[in-house]
């Protein structure tokens, strides 16, 4: 199977760092092409992210040519044929064409080759299996152009074999469909994923985390996650119950508010009802400390945010901070049975845009002047005063602050006597 077309609007290919790298690698019996996601995105007229280049040249020749051209080279995966070239601070992964000699998952034995067709057929999906040369000619040996036009995500060749080569391709299948597909998910690929789902157990948590977080923010995330649930793929990943309805409502709420999709916020809607869920998910996916803390905060008594009046909401916003307040509030919204277009929820969610919490005006010096010595008692009286200040709705006038300070000192003294 072969087809070709020319990328007409691709200035990134014909000038700048990409053109320079291709110019260095082409000629004298060797050829280099851009491959993978950059070609797919160019055809779909989407932003180009990382640029990967395949070449007939061996890694040693890539390094030699780069050195001769004054380009920095880093042997990032030289045993597997990959060298990274850096031009104008932009990295390019250069990988020598390969063909499998023995296949057993991620540890497949490969040999370097010179056949572009064989190299294309060992890749994952048809829309990722195309290459484009320096002239802008797209080379398609796997039916990628047809699937790009149909917005269809299919494995190259035998789906069971592609998955056996790397079980992460189960997650990538759903993630790529969510990002670039349309309509029903490819049935042959779907059934192959179901047959191979036990293979998810061999994947590292870090690799699973990467795919899940990318999937969460894809355009078709809700549909892809539902398909995964139907296939029995979510329990091995999350180790507990998932909530498809709240995820769909979270996505709708984000869109209603014009918020950028947030992977952890959506993950909370999908898998977190209480803080114990957050801890389990964070452990299973090996989330970063920041992601874990954010997820844990979302799961902490989110139900208390339902039905708040504005004064109570301001106090919550003050305590939690803008990001934690919004995430927890939106989890409560997603889990409520109210209309997702509810003006009440929208008012609460947009509070950070309409009101900024003032800084607590009383300081340690205000209490030291009233006879409270440095130590635990000072921290206690400050906490009492801050609670009273919040209850009084953030007053800033001197008379109110004086009253709060004196009452807090009196309360502390009384409590210590008791």
| Rg of the chain over all Cα atoms, to the nearest angstrom | 28
- At 359 the pLDDT is 95
Residue-wise DSSP of 57-118: S-HHHHHHHHHHTT-EEEEEEGGGTEEEEEETTEEEEEEE-EEEEE-BTBT-EEEE---HHH
Quote the CA–CA distance of 377 and 176 in Å, as a whole number.
57
Is the pLDDT confidence value at 105 over 60?
no
- At 157 the pLDDT is 95
Quote the CA–CA distance of 112 and 90 in Å, as a whole number.
26
The total of other beta-carbon atoms located within 10 Å of residue 229's CB is 16
Q: Determine the average pLDDT of the residues in 369-376.
A: 90
- At 107 the pLDDT is 54
Quote the CA–CA distance of 400 and 20 in Å, as a whole number.
69
24 touches 55 (CB < 8 A): no
Can you tell me which residue has the tokens 């948590």?
205
Q: Determine the average pLDDT of the residues in 383-406.
A: 95
Quote the CA–CA distance of 358 and 20 in Å, as a whole number.
54
- At 386 the pLDDT is 96
Where are the chain's structural domains?
A: 1-150, 151-237, 239-357, 364-417
Please provide the average confidence, as pLDDT, over all residues in the chain: 92
- At 6 the pLDDT is 87
Is the pLDDT confidence value at 4 over 80?
no
Which H helix or E strand runs over 32? strand 32-35
CA 148, distance to chain mean position in Å, is 24
Is the pLDDT confidence value at 73 over 80?
yes
Return the SS3 of 178.
helix
The pLDDT-based confidence of 98 (bands split at 50, 70, 90) is: confident
Q: What are the C-alpha distances in Å from 44 to residues 9, 48, 186, 188? A: 12, 10, 19, 24
- At 413 the pLDDT is 86
Enter the tokens of residue 89. Answer: 């601070």
Q: Tell me: the pLDDT tens digits for 19-33?
A: 999 999 999 999 999
Domain 151-237 sits in CATH 1.10.3090.10 = yes
The pLDDT-based confidence of 5 (bands split at 50, 70, 90) is: confident
The pLDDT-based confidence of 109 (bands split at 50, 70, 90) is: low
Q: What are the C-alpha distances in Å from 75 to residues 32, 91, 127? A: 18, 12, 28
For residues 2 and 82, the model is more confident at 82
Q: Which residues pair with 112 in a beta bridge?
A: 98
The pLDDT-based confidence of 1 (bands split at 50, 70, 90) is: very low
- At 418 the pLDDT is 40
Q: Tell me: the pLDDT tens digits for 177-218?
A: 999 999 999 999 999 999 999 999 999 999 999 999 999 999
Residue-wise DSSP of 199-233: GGGGS-HHHHHHHHHHHHTSTTHHHHHHHHHHTT-
CATH of domain 1-150: 3.30.460.10
The pLDDT-based confidence of 104 (bands split at 50, 70, 90) is: low
Enter the tokens of residue 398. Answer: 């001197």
Q: Minimal CA–CA distance to 214: which of 276, 272, 151, 285?
A: 285
Q: What is the DSSP secondary structure assignment for residue 4, as one 8-state letter?
A: E
Quote the CA–CA distance of 254 and 287 in Å, as a whole number.
22
Query: Residue 120 — left, alpha, or beta (φ > 0 → left; ψ -120 to 50 → alpha)?
Result: alpha
């Amino acid at each position: 199977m072969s087809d070709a077309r020319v990328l007409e609007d691709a200035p990134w290919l014909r000038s700048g760092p990409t053109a320079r790298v291709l110019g260095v690698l082409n000629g004298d019996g060797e050829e280099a092409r851009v491959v993978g996601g950059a070609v797919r995105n160019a055809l779909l007229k989407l932003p180009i992210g990382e640029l990967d280049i395949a070449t007939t040249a061996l890694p040693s020749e890539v390094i030699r040519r780069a050195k001769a051209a004054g380009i920095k080279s880093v042997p990032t995966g030289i045993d597997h044929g990959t060298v990274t070239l850096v031009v104008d601070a932009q990295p390019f992964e250069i990988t020598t064409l390969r063909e499998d000699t023995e296949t057993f998952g991620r540890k497949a034995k490969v040999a370097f080759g010179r056949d572009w067709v064989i190299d294309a057929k060992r890749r994952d999906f048809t829309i990722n299996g195309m290459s484009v040369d320096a002239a802008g000619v797209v080379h398609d040996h796997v039916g990628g152009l047809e699937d790009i036009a149909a917005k269809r995500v299919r494995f190259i060749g035998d789906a069971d074999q592609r998955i056996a080569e790397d079980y992460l391709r189960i997650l990538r299948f759903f993630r790529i469909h969510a990002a670039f597909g349309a309509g029903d998910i490819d049935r042959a690929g779907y059934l192959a994923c179901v047959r191979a789902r036990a293979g998810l157990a061999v994947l590292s948590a870090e690799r699973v985390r990467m795919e899940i977080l990318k999937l969460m923010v894809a355009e078709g995330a809700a549909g892809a996650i539902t398909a995964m649930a139907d296939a029995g793929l979510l329990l091995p990943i999350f180790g507990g119950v998932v909530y498809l309805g709240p995820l769909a409502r979270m996505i709708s709420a984000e869109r209603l508010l014009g918020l950028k999709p947030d992977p952890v916020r959506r993950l909370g809607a999908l898998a977190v009802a209480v803080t114990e869920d957050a801890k389990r998910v964070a452990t299973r996916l090996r989330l970063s400390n920041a992601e874990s803390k954010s997820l844990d905060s979302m799961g902490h008594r989110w139900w208390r945010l339902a039905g708040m009046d504005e004064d109570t909401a301001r106090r919550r916003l003050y305590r939690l901070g803008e990001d934690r307040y919004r995430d927890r509030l939106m989890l409560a919204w997603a889990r409520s049975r109210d209309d997702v277009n509810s003006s009440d929820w929208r008012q609460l969610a947009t509070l950070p845009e309409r009101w900024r919490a003032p800084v607590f005006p009383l300081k340690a010096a205000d209490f030291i002047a009233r006879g409270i010595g440095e130590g635990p008692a000072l921290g206690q009286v400050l906490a009492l005063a801050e609670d009273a200040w919040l209850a009084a709705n953030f007053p800033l006038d001197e008379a109110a602050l004086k009253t709060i300070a004196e009452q807090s000192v009196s309360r502390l003294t009384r409590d210590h006597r008791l």
